Amino acid sequence: MRPTVSVFGGHLPGDSVWHRAGVGWKYLVVLALTLPALCVQQPWLTATGLVAVVGCLALCRLPARAMFAIPVALLVLLLVLGVFQLVVGRPDLAFVVPGNVLLAVWAARLIIVTTPASVLVDALVAAADRVPFVDGERFGLAVGIMLRSVPFLSGAFYDVRDAARARGLERHWVARLTPVVVRAVGFAQATGDALAARGLAEGRPSAPHPRV
């Protein structure tokens, strides 16, 4: 399966200040970068957040393409969001809405590119364990499965698209979507079988009832 350009990127080793920082501090920085712009919805605040996150990404001392690349699908989404705001008569939000989306993506990339996936999942598990009625291990397992599923499904879509184009069926949506659905179902079944084989697909066994 061909590799695909991820929206959030993937971990790249390095020795920058962001690579050495603890994952908890990284999460706090991401919140500080994104929450003000998302809550206030003002162009100057969105622009300030974008400048700040670009500066933070530059400090990672990694290739610019890996840090600032915008996949075509995301670029189209940003353009659609901006045009929609113009159509509905909100030119003040034509920059704010897509700008905030790009800000959130780049801020998330700041964590993902500088932190191994295992460390991210472990941090989420530790945080989830502190929430009442939440099984941190199962939550971490769900996040891990999601991280595996997104690249697989993206790769399946592009593989099927190329195969349909080679057969002259690029405009035939059934020919393009059906194989993707089949692959997705197969992936889900294989994942479920693997979890069941390890005894993870079922709920925790209930405590035995006391005898009377």
* Domain-located, residue 147: yes
Dump pLDDT digits (tens) for 137-167: 676 666 666 666 666 666 777 777 777 777 7
Statement to judge: residues 173 and 109 lie in one domain: no
- Distance, in Å, from the CA atom of 212 to the CA atom of 54, rounded to the nearest integer, reads 67
- Distance, in Å, from the CA atom of 149 to the CA atom of 143, rounded to the nearest integer, reads 10
Instruction: Assess contact for 98 and 79: CB atoms under 8 A.
Output: yes
Residue of 14 and 202 predicted with greater confidence? 14
* Domain-located, residue 55: yes
Statement to judge: residues 71 and 148 lie in one domain: no
Tokens of 187: 């992936």
Give me the domain span that covers residue 144. 136-197
High-pLDDT (> 90) share of the chain, %: 16
Dump pLDDT digits (tens) for 46-76: 999 999 999 998 888 888 887 888 877 788 8
- Distance, in Å, from the CA atom of 77 to the CA atom of 101, rounded to the nearest integer, reads 9
* Domain-located, residue 162: yes
Q: How many CB atoms lie within 10 A of CB 187?
A: 16
Amino acid at 46: T
Statement to judge: residues 37 and 107 lie in one domain: yes
Among 38, 37, 34, 40, which residue's Cα sits nearest to residue 56? 34
* Domain-located, residue 96: yes
Statement to judge: residues 100 and 62 lie in one domain: yes
Statement to judge: residues 40 and 75 lie in one domain: yes
What's the confidence (pLDDT) of residue 211?
Answer: 44
Residue by residue, DSSP assigns 154-196 as HHHHHHHHHHHHHTT-TT-HHHHHHHHHHHHHHHHHHHHHHHH
What's the confidence (pLDDT) of residue 3?
Answer: 43
Statement to judge: residues 75 and 145 lie in one domain: no
Statement to judge: residues 149 and 189 lie in one domain: yes
Dump pLDDT digits (tens) for 73-132: 788 888 998 999 999 888 888 999 999 999 998 998 888 888 887 787 777 777 777 777
In the chain, the number of structural domains is: 2
Instruction: Output the pTM of the full model.
Output: 0.65
Statement to judge: residues 29 and 61 lie in one domain: yes
Q: How many CB atoms lie within 10 A of CB 32?
A: 12
* Domain-located, residue 142: yes
Q: Burial, 102: exposed, middle or buried (Cβ in 10 Å; 0-12, 13-18, 19+)?
A: buried
Statement to judge: residues 109 and 28 lie in one domain: yes
Statement to judge: residues 106 and 27 lie in one domain: yes
Angle at 108 between CA 143 and CA 87, to 5 degrees: 110
| Domain stops at, among 115, 145, 176 | 115
* Domain-located, residue 23: yes
Statement to judge: residues 22 and 65 lie in one domain: yes
* Domain-located, residue 24: yes
What's the confidence (pLDDT) of residue 199?
Answer: 64
Dump pLDDT digits (tens) for 175-203: 667 777 777 777 777 767 766 666 655 54
What's the confidence (pLDDT) of residue 95?
Answer: 93
Statement to judge: residues 75 and 150 lie in one domain: no
Question: Which of 1-5, 21-25, 40-44, 57-61 is the least confident region?
Answer: 1-5
* Domain-located, residue 122: no
